[in-house]
Amino acid sequence: MNHDREETKRLERVSPEVFATFLRAKKVAQCCMSCGGSRLVVPETDDAAYSASLAGSSSFAEKKYVIWYKISESKPASPDNCEYRVICSECGFTSYYWASLVVLWLEADLFPVEKTGGKK
């Protein structure tokens, strides 16, 4: 497996549940930093077809993950060059979270559900 694909797989390990747990663990406010609204949205994959099209393969795992965005388009996707977003559905304010911190937190076994198959 090439290095770029390995880095992409690291980014795609961040499921909506993992990201939400990371934000809670870091005590991130559960409301919009601009308007104070409570309807926050995290962009995530919709279905396996979308995931497969990103991977260029129909055998790609059918698992939701938080969509990552490259910081610099001229560099390859990696946790150091990507971010995850939280968007307020009331005012549109967007906050960005550096993917490297989220991925390293996950890889450091700080997310107990993944290791136990969903049981804490």
31: burial class by Cβ within 10 Å (0-12, 13-18, 19+)?
Answer: middle
For residues 111-119, average pLDDT: 51
Beta bridge partners of 98: 83
Q: Which domain holds residue 18?
A: 3-116
Q: Of 19, 10, 35, which Cα lies nearest the Cα of 111? A: 19
> Does pLDDT of 53 surpass 70?
no
Record the pTM.
0.77
Q: Quick one: pLDDT band at residue 3, thresholds 50, 70, 90?
A: confident
| pLDDT tens figures, 57-84 | 544 455 799 999 999 999 999 999 999 9
State how many domains the chain has. 1
